[in-house]
Amino acid sequence: QSVLTQPPSVSGAPGQRVTISCTGTSSNIGADYDVHWYQQLPGAAPKLLIYPNNNRPSAVPDRFSRSKSGTSASLAITGLQAEDEADYYCQSYDTSLSGYVFGTGTKVIIL
């Protein structure tokens, strides 16, 4: 059972904007720890989406952006494309668990 909660799925039509929330507590996101985001395409390994300085790996388009406030974080995808259909995970650190934790994961569905 993860301490970072994400919606099981979000959906949108091509070209639309979707956001994925990652809700934590005062022992992880609320403790001002960074939140990182990963995309996992079907049958593939996870891939980092955004570096801590908000730069993106070379293959990641600038349609992906992140934000954080209080005990929650969000990943926004603008201009949805078919290739964005994948699972997305947030990741942070939890002081109570003394370890790194991942979110429950969100499947993005392109309508």
Q: How far is CA 111 from CA 41, 43, 100, in A?
A: 17, 21, 33
| Tokens 């979707």, residue located | 18
Nearer Cβ to another protein, position 81 or 95?
A: 95
Q: Which stretch binds another protein (CB under 8 A): 12-20, 31-39, 59-67, 71-79?
A: 31-39
Which of 24, 19, 8 shows the shortest CA–CA distance to 69?
24
Which of 24, 38, 72, 80 contacts another protein by CB under 8 A?
38
Binding of another protein by 59 (CB under 8 A): no
Q: Which stretch binds another protein (CB under 8 A): 10-18, 38-46, 59-67, 71-79?
A: 38-46
**Dist. CA 56–CA 23, nearest whole Å:** 23
